[in-house]
Structure 1
Amino acid sequence: MKLIKKKYIDFTFTKSVANMKNISCSPRKLRLVANIIRNKKVEYSIYKLNHIKNKGAIIIKNLLLSAISNWKIKNLKKDINQYNFYIEKILVNQGYQLKKIRPAPQGRGNKVRKKYSNLYITIISKL
């Protein structure tokens, strides 16, 4: 019985991260947009985000462009045109909540909760 040596091909995947905190948009509205582009190519997702009429789409698109720019800074010697970028992880978490009371009829008060979000995006580059 002959032993066959396994050849391991080492693909160097480089990651880039961008995050934004205290976004004045509720997490539920951001998650609707984030679910559309999760685990997709960055080029496709930017094209898709340009055609969505939503406040969250603009915020996520700007953060994606920031993640690409972080990758460029991290890998100065590499050519960006040779790589395909994919969204590896996109997290939308709830930030703090602004609570106030709005006057209501008969001396009552209604609670108003303004929710803020935290957004975290990781992209990965493949040859």
Structure 2
Amino acid sequence: MEARAEARFIRVSAQKARLVIDLIRGRKAGDAITILRTTNKRIAPTVEKVLRSAIANAENRNTDLDVDTLFVTEAYVNEGPRQKRVRPAPMGRAYRYQRRTSHIVVKVGEKNAEAALSQK
């Protein structure tokens, strides 16, 4: 059983969000929330919100699910569209810059016995 949650068009570069996502991939859901609470990055509360949403989605799909057995099975960040902007520069020129966005996806599920044995 697997549930997923996605946050789209988040105003942070995918490179910066991946630093936080890499911390929680493959961890227990409870441990991942603890890690995100103590991580000193601006995107960490948003990733925590997505993770909590994925856990809630898992509970809604399966009522007899034990939340303590959930793991972060997949977590990844894709680039979203870029907003192209112009900044005034000296001597009447203009500098272009891009405001990057990203799409954050977190999937949670239960680790079955076969997968746990194959990883050892």
Smaller-chain TM-score bracket:
0.7 to 0.9
Match of 1:85 in 2: 70
Structure with greater proportional strand content = 1
Q: CA RMSD in A?
A: 1.4
For residues 1-127 of structure 1, what are the structure 2 equivalents within 5 Å? Answer: 14-76=1-63, 78-80=64-66, 83-126=68-111
1:34-71 Cα deviation digits (max 9, x unpaired): 11111111111110110112121111100010001001
Q: Give structure 2 stretches of 5+ with no counterpart.
A: 113-120
Q: Which of structure 1's runs of 4+ aligned residues deviate more than 4 A? A: none
**Cα distance, 1:125 vs. partner?**
1.7
Query: One-letter code of the match for 1:103?
Result: P
Q: Distance in 2 between matches of 1:73 and 1:39?
A: 22
For the residue of structure 2 that corresponds to 1:111, the secondary structure is strand
| Identity over aligned pairs, percent | 28
1:98-121 Cα deviation digits (max 9, x unpaired): 101111011211112100000111
Instruction: Work out the number of aligned pairs and report it.
Output: 112
**Cα distance, 1:79 vs. partner?**
4.3
Q: Distance in 2 between matches of 1:37 and 1:43?
A: 10
User: Structure 1-normalised TM-score?
Assistant: 0.83
Structure with greater proportional helix content = 2
Q: Distance in 1 between matches of 2:18 and 2:93?
A: 34
Q: Give structure 1 stretches of 5+ with no counterpart.
A: 1-13
